[in-house]
């Protein structure tokens, strides 16, 4: 009887561990959610490769977009853990630099830098970010 209980407990642990997979978000999903909230992300083609929000962090280069004259840099990592490493790399490499005002959003495997007026963020961006968070749960 004890053996059956132990087997049942081990089976539960294994099943729980296997179903705890991360829901990664794609660049296409980000664009779709932003579009749904009235934000058309236009690919930035004339970027300065040395600009803070153009550089690679943790080995990932961003996709850069413009909307209403504002810049959004989107980093898509393989996992949430890799995204966290990207944030730490950004902080380390920009610690002594004068970085433009920005909002940073970390959602699952993505990191989004919104270079805007931090005091008055576009509510559509905030709403889109909230929807992206619901996708990752």
CA–CA separation, 38 vs 56, rounded Å? 28
pTM of the model: 0.81
CA–CA separation, 18 vs 29, rounded Å? 25
Domains of the chain: 23-136 (3.30.1360)
Q: What is the pLDDT of residues 59-89, one digit of tens each?
A: 999 999 998 888 999 999 999 999 999 999 9
Q: What is the pLDDT of residues 82-120, one digit of tens each?
A: 999 999 999 999 988 788 888 999 999 999 999 876 667
């Amino acid at each position: 009887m004890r053996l059956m209980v132990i087997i049942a407990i081990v089976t539960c642990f294994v099943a729980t561990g296997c179903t705890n997979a991360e829901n990664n978000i794609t660049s296409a999903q980000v664009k779709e959610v932003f579009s749904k909230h009235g934000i058309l992300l236009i690919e930035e083609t004339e970027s300065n490769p040395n600009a803070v929000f153009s550089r690679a962090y943790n080995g990932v280069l961003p996709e850069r977009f413009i909307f209403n004259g504002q810049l959004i840099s989107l980093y898509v990592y393989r996992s949430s853990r890799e995204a966290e490493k990207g944030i730490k790399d950004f902080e380390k490499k920009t610690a002594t630099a004068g970085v433009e005002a920005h909002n940073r959003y970390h959602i699952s495997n993505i990191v989004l830098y919104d270079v805007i007026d931090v005091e008055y963020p576009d509510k559509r961006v905030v709403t889109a970010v909230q929807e992206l968070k619901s996708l990752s749960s």
